[in-house]
């Protein structure tokens, strides 16, 4: 399996990001739309959006992507807005390589702490395991953030 990475979004990525995010079965329809909108916004407004991407391609097919960017009011912390692998490509180590490449790109931009947020629901156990397996640490939890019984969890990875 030949994995390559690119950081410049292309128009075709809008649709592919929707397909990737939908395939995971983790997100609501409005979240899928937001994921695609971030790509579209970056294409029309450039780096001023603060959204940066890494696309993982397997034999020419975009299999996974991440979206990250600097946090306003912080000199060294970045948000990991999205990281998702198309369901057809899960379990092949692509996500691990993608997070490594994302950390490398963010570090080159001055990032020292990468912050990922996720849900505390059982459905998100694979997401939490992914972060832990990739050396993220659970730093904080906001009880009942999304709705009663659904906590917002903050995982961090120190990369600087």
Q: pLDDT tens for residues 91-116?
A: 999 999 999 999 999 999 999 999 99
Q: Whole-structure pTM over 0.85, yes or no? A: yes
How far is the C-alpha of 142 from the C-alpha of 113, rounded, in Å?
19
Range of the structural domain that residue 137 is part of:
3-158
Strands of 71-102 (E only): list them. Answer: 77-85
Q: Which tokens in the block code for residue 31? A: 């979240």
Give the C-alpha distances (Å, rounded to integers) separating 17 from 14, 48, 72, 101.
5, 20, 25, 18
Q: What single-letter DSSP state applies at residue 71?
A: P
Residue 135's pLDDT is 98
How far is the C-alpha of 156 from the C-alpha of 37, rounded, in Å?
25
Q: What is the CATH number of the domain that holds 12?
A: 3.40.630.30
Q: Give the pLDDT confidence of 17-59 residue by residue, as tens digits.
A: 999 999 999 888 999 999 999 999 999 999 999 999 999 999 9
Residue 160's pLDDT is 82
Total domains in the chain come to 1
């Amino acid at each position: 399996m030949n994995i390559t990475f690119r950081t410049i979004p292309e128009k075709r990525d809008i649709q592919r990001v929707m397909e990737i995010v939908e395939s995971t079965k983790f997100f609501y329809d409005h979240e899928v739309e937001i994921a695609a909108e971030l790509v579209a916004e970056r294409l029309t407004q450039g780096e001023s959006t603060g959204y940066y991407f890494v696309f993982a391609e397997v034999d020419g097919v975009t299999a996974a992507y991440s979206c990250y960017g600097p946090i306003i009011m912080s000199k060294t912390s970045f948000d990991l807005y999205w990281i998702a692998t198309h369901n057809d490509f899960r379990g092949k180590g692509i996500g691990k390589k993608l997070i490594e490449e994302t950390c490398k790109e963010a570090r080159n931009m001055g990032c020292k702490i990468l912050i990922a947020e996720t849900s505390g629901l059982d459905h998100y156990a694979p997401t939490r395991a992914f972060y832990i397996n990739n050396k993220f640490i659970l730093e904080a939890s906001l009880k009942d953030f999304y709705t009663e019984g659904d906590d917002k969890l903050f995982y961090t990875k120190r990369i600087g």
